[in-house]
């Protein structure tokens, strides 16, 4: 009898324990499912909101693509540093001399730009470098042309002094071939031709 009671009690305890385990497992499972659904719902809502926003953005972009791009341009313009007007005018004037073949004047004009750029405290170091780089090739070309033409002119002066007129004329012609608007060479060439009655 005791054995039957013991078995009944053991069976009951075992049954109760299994029931508690099942209830706990069911509760945990339902909470887990509920959380997953909430996460899915939140994710779905976020995706829907994003889709809705991108739809609005695409509508506003297609409706006002010009205003969007102009805003970008304005922002870029405001962040870009501008070359000061006085320096830009100096560069333009020097470039004008260079393009007209007035290399001596171009050298002087370009040479005057650098100190102004370097002394301007409102310009960043990167813009200063950019400005100087923008005209340095023309400046170097102008210097090379004028120096080479002056060398030929100097040779012509020496040859004229030595009464080697034909050679002096050749040197002047070389100077003028390189630098056609070299006024000293033009004047000396005309002077030698008229002095020695050459055509």
Instruction: Kindly report the backbone phi and psi dihedral angles of residue 180, in degrees, each rounded to the nearest multiple of 5, phi listed first.
Output: -60, -25
Give percent above pLDDT 70 in the chain.
Answer: 61
pLDDT value at position 47? 45
User: Which residue among 53, 80, 107 closes a domain?
Assistant: 80
pLDDT value at position 51? 46
For 6, the domain range is 1-80
* 126 SS3 class: helix
- Considering the domain architecture, whether residues 70 and 153 belong to the same structural domain is answered as no
- Considering the domain architecture, whether residues 70 and 93 belong to the same structural domain is answered as no
User: Which residue among 40, 65, 80 closes a domain?
Assistant: 80
The domain total for the chain is 2
Reported pTM = 0.58
pLDDT, tens only, 39-91: 444 444 444 544 444 444 444 444 444 444 444 444 443 347 899 999 999 99
Pull the structure tokens for residue 100. Answer: 């007209």
- Considering the domain architecture, whether residues 122 and 101 belong to the same structural domain is answered as yes
The CATH code of the domain that includes 90 is 1.25.40
d(CA 101, CA 149): 13
Ranking 3-7, 78-82, 136-140 by mean pLDDT, the lowest is 3-7
């Amino acid at each position: 009898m005791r054995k039957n009671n013991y078995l009944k009690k053991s069976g009951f305890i075992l049954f109760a324990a299994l029931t508690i385990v099942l209830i706990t497992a069911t509760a945990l499972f339902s909470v887990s499912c509920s959380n997953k659904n909430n996460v899915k719902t939140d994710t779905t809502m976020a995706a829907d909101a994003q889709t809705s926003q991108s739809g609005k953005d695409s509508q506003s972009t297609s409706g006002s693509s010009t205003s969007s791009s102009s805003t970008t341009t304005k922002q870029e313009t405001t962040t870009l540093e501008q070359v000061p007007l006085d320096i830009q005018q100096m560069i333009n004037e020097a470039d004008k001399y260079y393009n007209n073949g007035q290399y001596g004047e171009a050298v002087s004009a370009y040479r005057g730009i650098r100190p102004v750029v370097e002394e301007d405290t409102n310009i960043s170091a990167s813009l200063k470098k950019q400005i100087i780089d923008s005209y340095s090739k023309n400046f170097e070309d102008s210097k090379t042309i004028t120096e080479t033409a002056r060398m030929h002119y100097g040779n012509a002066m020496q040859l004229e002094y030595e009464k080697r007129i034909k050679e002096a004329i050749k040197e002047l012609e070389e100077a003028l071939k390189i630098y056609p608007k070299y006024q000293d060479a033009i004047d000396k060439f005309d002077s030698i031709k008229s002095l020695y009655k050459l055509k």
